[in-house]
């Protein structure tokens, strides 16, 4: 175990990124945020990487939240700067145009849940506890929780969680659509890796276009969202992967998409 709060490994088209501060239950401090940003910038710019898996070191926590020792001294100016940095880093992850899978176990609270919500998909281990308890500290989420949570689970459910600070079990998170799957603890990372390999085998440009269409469409009205899809569909129809995929279907064989 090294001294860096973020570790990353590239293997077989997959980037494995780990928040590695187990003594603090992987709380996010300034250094961790800086290194998280650097890791995902590298993933963004590395063409061999198709998918990323984000997890927390140890078995107690994905990310327990922000480092309270750094939050406590914040004032109006430094608080805004801290939130802006968090939004920049999580915005990078959300807009990566490569799928990012959050493998969540233990606690995912506050900034930890916000980090997971910035990922494309979320898989949780049985017994995981998730929530936005910032209100108990006299603050609100600062890394996108008030915006991403309602978009994922709906306004009413989000407000109940945000206003009470209630922590939910993984089974409830799955039921309301916050996570896509709950699995036994000893199957979490393997399940995430199996999904990552499935996504890595999909045609690159179609994956990028799907992520772009959903992300941009959710930020506009339905008519404009339709137009985004129309434009991207037209673009995709000019790709070699589209020609290969349709040809393979007609020839009743498995497609061989570009690496």
Segment 197-225 shows an average pLDDT of: 97
Q: Say if strands 167-169 and 129-131 run parallel, antiparallel, or are unpaired.
A: antiparallel
pLDDT of residue 259: 61
pLDDT at 256 over 50: yes
The fraction of the chain above a pLDDT of 90, given in percent, is 98
Averaged pLDDT, 230-252: 96
How many Å separate Cα 66 from the centre of its chain? 16
Please identify every residue annotated as catalytic: 114, 134
Q: What share of the chain in percent tops pLDDT 70?
A: 99
**Rounded to two decimals, what is the model's pTM?**
0.96
Q: What is the pLDDT of residues 120-143, one digit of tens each?
A: 999 999 999 999 999 999 999 999
Domains in the chain, start-ordered, CATH in brackets? 6-200 (3.90.226.10), 204-250 (1.10.12)
Tokens representing 156?
Answer: 């009413």
- Taking only the tens place, the pLDDT of each residue in 55-94 is 999 989 999 999 999 999 999 999 999 999 999 999 999 9
Whole-number Cα distances in Å, 175 to 45, 51, 171, 178, 179:
35, 25, 6, 8, 8
């Amino acid at each position: 175990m090294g001294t860096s709060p973020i570790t990353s490994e590239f293997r077989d088209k997959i980037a494995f990124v780990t928040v590695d501060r187990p003594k603090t239950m992987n709380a996010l401090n300034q250094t961790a945020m800086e290194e998280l940003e650097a890791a995902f910038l590298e993933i963004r710019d590395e063409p061999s990487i198709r998918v990323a898996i984000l997890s927390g070191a140890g078995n107690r926590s994905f990310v327990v939240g922000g480092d309270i020792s750094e939050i406590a001294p914040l004032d109006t100016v430094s608080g805004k700067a801290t939130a802006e940095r968090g939004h920049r880093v999580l915005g990078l992850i959300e807009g990566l145009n490569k799928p990012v899978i959050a493998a969540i176990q233990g606690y995912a609270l506050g900034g930890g849940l916000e980090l997971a919500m910035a990922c494309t998909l979320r898989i949780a281990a049985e017994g995981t506890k998730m929530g936005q308890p910032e209100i108990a500290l006299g603050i609100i989420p600062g890394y996108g929780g008030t915006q991403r949570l309602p978009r994922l689970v709906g306004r009413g459910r989000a407000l109940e969680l945000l206003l009470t600070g209630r922590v939910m079990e993984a089974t409830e998170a799955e039921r309301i659509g916050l996570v896509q799957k709950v699995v036994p603890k000893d199957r979490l990372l393997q399940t995430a890796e199996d999904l990552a390999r499935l996504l890595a085998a999909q045609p690159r440009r179609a994956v990028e276009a799907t992520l772009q269409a959903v992300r941009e469409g959710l930020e506009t009205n339905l008519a404009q969202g339709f137009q985004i899809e129309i434009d991207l569909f037209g673009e995709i129809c000019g790709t070699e992967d589209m020609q290969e995929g349709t040809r393979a279907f007609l020839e009743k064989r498995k497609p061989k998409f570009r690496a």
